[in-house]
Structure 1
Amino acid sequence: MKKTTVIRALATSAFALITVMGLAACSTTAEPSEESGANMADVMFVQMMIPHHEGAIEMSDVLLSKTGVDPEVVALAEQIKAAQGPEIEQMKAWLDDWGMPQMDDGMDGMDGMGGMDGMSDEDMQALEDASGAEAGDLFLEQMIVHHAGAIDMAEEVLDDGQHPEVRELAENIIASQAAEIEQMRSMLDS
């Protein structure tokens, strides 16, 4: 079995476990108001996608701090940052509008759940330690797995969520990140 397949399977399993734990943790918190149009599936998606996107931006920042990286990989990292930064701000605004906490403020029992964004500390350290073409390839391999995790999360909220804008964001994440996965696979093959 390919390493990326194993990593994706582990990330998907970890996501499922975190979702269950998150729902349990949220069971004692208030639910979004009916007027918000959001349900707890929408809230959990947004609460979990914010740190997931932040992880992608952190990975991109690490890569962008390096020299000798293929310009196409650099451009992709910049594209990821440019797309996900505004999405983070939109999701934070939704949580504020819904009166719901972000994962890092008020989600007792949810702090320190490393790896939620699909990246272990060891993965991030490997990216930080790599240089040049090796860093570019590692970034692409890790971001493929990371994007696959985001697609899984987005598919979940399409099954269970109800907020129209959250659903639209999830559809956009699936489309854009699936396209980026194909682009990254092509870059690795060349």
Structure 2
Amino acid sequence: MKILRKPKTLLALLALVALTALVSACGGGGSSSESSTSSSGRTVDQAFVAEMIPHHELAVEMAEVAQKEGQHPQITQLANNIVESQSAEIEEMKAIAEEIGATAGAGGSGMEGMSEEGMEGMSEEGSGHEENTSQSEDAKVLGMSMDSMGMSMQMSSLEGAKPFDRTFIDMMVPHHQGAIRMADAEVEMGENSELKDLAKRIVAAQTKEIEEMNEWRED
């Protein structure tokens, strides 16, 4: 009787091995679909739009100062272009943010002008800490640090600055560079076609503006 039980035992073991292999195969298939999602469920598209909106808002704020304080016509014209183009892009991103379930500006609202070190020193209570955590998470999703997004400039350094135009350029160039890094991340890892197209436009426009500002700095 013992001899008759061995085939049954062997079959049971083989069935267990096959089941284990099947479960492993099914489990492994889901990893690629999570490539653009953070551990908290935040997607690249959501992180991009949540951070680029306040990033653009800061650029518009800086440009509005330049519209009044700019010393050279090239600077005031650039400021006009930034206010017009980025204000339109803000509205475009807000509409997309609603479509994809992103809270527009959640990661950056109220954080302008603060360095990463300054934000780390904030109280861990209240909305400030929540925004800091959200921005930090968004930066990770985009493969960046918070400082590399170009949001750590002080508006007080621009207002009343002398010489104004050079100060404006010295602040706007790294701010644009941060936007380009964020846009590159969206182009590479994002999934929303509208956001990817917008990101490509941001890269093209702001790369050109950086080149212009660097030329003006040398004049």
Query: TM-score w.r.t. structure 2 length?
Result: 0.62
**What is the total number of aligned residue pairs between the two structures?**
152
CA distance in 2: counterparts of 1:49 and 1:136, whole angstroms: 24
The CA deviation string for residues 117-167 of structure 1, in whole angstroms up to 9 with x for no partner, is: 62435x321111314xx1111111111111100010011111110111111
Give the alignment of 1:138-157 within 5 angstroms. 138-157=167-186
Does residue 162 (structure 1) correspond to residue 191 (structure 2)? The answer is: yes
Match of 1:72 among 67, 71, 74: 74
The CA deviation string for residues 49-106 of structure 1, in whole angstroms up to 9 with x for no partner, is: 001000100111122232x61111010011111110010000000111223212349x
**Would the aligned equivalents of 1:42 and 1:157 in 2 still touch at CA under 8 Å?**
yes
Query: TM-score w.r.t. structure 1 length?
Result: 0.71
Structure 1 residues 62 and 117 mapped into 2: Cα distance closer, same or farther (>3 Å)? Answer: farther
**Would the aligned equivalents of 1:51 and 1:117 in 2 still touch at CA under 8 Å?**
no
Structure 1 residues 110 and 50 mapped into 2: Cα distance closer, same or farther (>3 Å)? Answer: farther
**Would the aligned equivalents of 1:103 and 1:110 in 2 still touch at CA under 8 Å?**
no
Bigger relative contact order (CA 8 A; separation at least 6) = 1
**Would the aligned equivalents of 1:52 and 1:116 in 2 still touch at CA under 8 Å?**
no
- Residue 129 of structure 1 aligns to a residue whose secondary structure is coil
Structure 1 residues 44 and 119 mapped into 2: Cα distance closer, same or farther (>3 Å)? Answer: closer
Which position in structure 2 is the counterpart of 1:130?
161
| Paired-residue identity, % | 36
CA distance in 2: counterparts of 1:102 and 1:116, whole angstroms: 20
- Choose 1 or 2 for highest CA Rg: 2
CA distance in 1: counterparts of 2:49 and 2:104, whole angstroms: 8
CA distance in 1: counterparts of 2:130 and 2:62, whole angstroms: 22
**Would the aligned equivalents of 1:144 and 1:184 in 2 still touch at CA under 8 Å?**
yes
Note the residue ranges of structure 2 that are not aligned, 5 or more in a row: 1-37, 110-126, 136-145
CA distance in 2: counterparts of 1:115 and 1:124, whole angstroms: 16
Paired letter, 1:137: R
Which position in structure 2 is the counterpart of 1:18?
none
Paired letter, 1:98: I
Alpha-carbon RMSD = 2.6
